[in-house]
Amino acid sequence: MLVMSRQVHESVIITVPPSPVPQEIRVTLIKVKSLLAARLGFQADASVVIDREEVRLMKQRPQQPTYTDAALASFGCPLDAESEAP
């Protein structure tokens, strides 16, 4: 069971993959922490993706490019302290 806390106006996004068999997702209120937050428990098949909304948004953002040493060298960037000019 996945357990997470949510505050007022925070969401959970559940993605169920296409399946010929209906998928069951069980959401259980675990604990009311305060007037503004509660703990929820989620039980679902492993193929079901359950994310906090802010995590889903991060996953959907385009990834920033990473540069390898070879790419940096091709731009004339020094690869270590020894190759820098004094």
DSSP lists the bridge partners of residue 14 as 50
pLDDT at 86: 46
pTM of the model: 0.61
**Tens-digit pLDDT profile for residues 26-54:** 999 999 988 889 999 999 988 899 999 99
Between the CA atoms of 24, 26, 27 and 29, what dihedral angle is there, to the nearest 10 degrees?
170
